[in-house]
Amino acid sequence: MAKPAAEKPFSQAVKERRATPSFENVPIHSADLEKIIRIGLEAPSGYNIQPWRFVVVRDPEQKKKLRAAAFGQPKIEQASAVIVACGDPLGWKDGDLEEMLRISAQHGFNDPAEQEKILKTVTGFLGGPAGKAAGIEPTFDLWANRQTMIAFTTMMWAAETMGYDTAPMEGFMEDQVKALLKIPERVRVVALLAVGRLKGKDKLYAGRFEPARAVFADTWGKSIEF
Ligand SMILES: Cc1cc2nc3c(=O)[nH]c(=O)nc-3n(C[C@H](O)[C@H](O)[C@H](O)COP(=O)(O)O)c2cc1C
């Protein structure tokens, strides 16, 4: 069993994180896994609708099959856990909105008129012309992906600050992953997050674009000065 690690400051985690090339095949402490997941579920989402779902794969047989659905990437099988992040484009129409309102009522947002207003606003935005104008309708895929990646990334940083190593992955065959994990038809698989302990040498840091290339001031293309 991997040892629980002392937490590191966020800035240190950012400096030290690499897309882990290879993992020790050790189990993760379930308390640590729960912490990573719970922190991720604290991520913000539009109207707090939380259209994400996660399948945590730890079973060795399942990991082996998941590896096959991920172009044979060995780290899937080596990692202590692989978090399969999914976005449900239509969960908001199918109970998530009501559940979100029920929970928010428990936290003090319990004025029925306010709740009714939120319900109308959300359904009006997502399902109406505003949703089309925002590029969300008609598939809601972009929308579900947008929200899910925030929770995914929050889990990644949570794991890294806790001393675990992570590897985000988009190299998988969605249909195969869905079939293996029995993910419903309408749900999209957004990304996989392998979590565990680095084995051997980490990857080199490959550098990043300077703000001068990637960040603009006020309008696209205008250099930013800090
Ligand atoms: C969404 C996403 C998907 C990725 N998919 C894969 C993958 O399938 N396989 C892989 O080996 N690395 C994958 N990577 C890792 C990237 O190649 C890596 O993050 C990038 O080269 C920068 O390196 P660094 O994270 O070590 O700084 C992915 C990264 C992200 C953010």
Each domain of the chain, given as residue ranges in start order, spans 1-89+143-201, 90-138
Residues 6+ positions from 15 with CB-CB distance below 8 Å: none
Second-level CATH architecture of 1-89+143-201:
3-Layer(aba) Sandwich (3.40)
Report the pLDDT averaged over residues 160-184.
98
Task: Note the pLDDT tens digit of each residue in 79-125.
Answer: 999 999 999 999 999 999 999 999 999 999 999 999 999 999 999 99
CA of 166 from ligand 1 middle (Å) equals 10
Residue of the CA atom closest to atom 6 of ligand 1? 169
**Which amino acid, 66?**
L
Of the pLDDT bands very low, low, confident and very high (cuts 50, 70, 90), residue 5 is low
Which atom of ligand 1 lies at the shortest distance from residue 71's CA?
8
Please provide the average confidence, as pLDDT, over all residues in the chain: 95
For the full predicted model, state whether its pTM sits above 0.75.
Answer: yes
Which atom of ligand 1 lies at the shortest distance from residue 202's CA?
26
Q: Any alpha helices (H) in 19-164, and if so which ranges? A: 30-40, 60-68, 74-78, 96-106, 112-127, 129-133, 141-161
**Which amino acid, 19?**
A
Task: Note the pLDDT tens digit of each residue in 32-72.
Answer: 999 999 999 999 999 999 999 999 999 999 999 999 999 99
> Residue 31 above 80 pLDDT?
yes
> Residue 2 above 70 pLDDT?
no
Query: Using a 6 Å CB cutoff, which residues line ligand 1?
Result: 18-19, 73, 168-171, 191, 203, 206
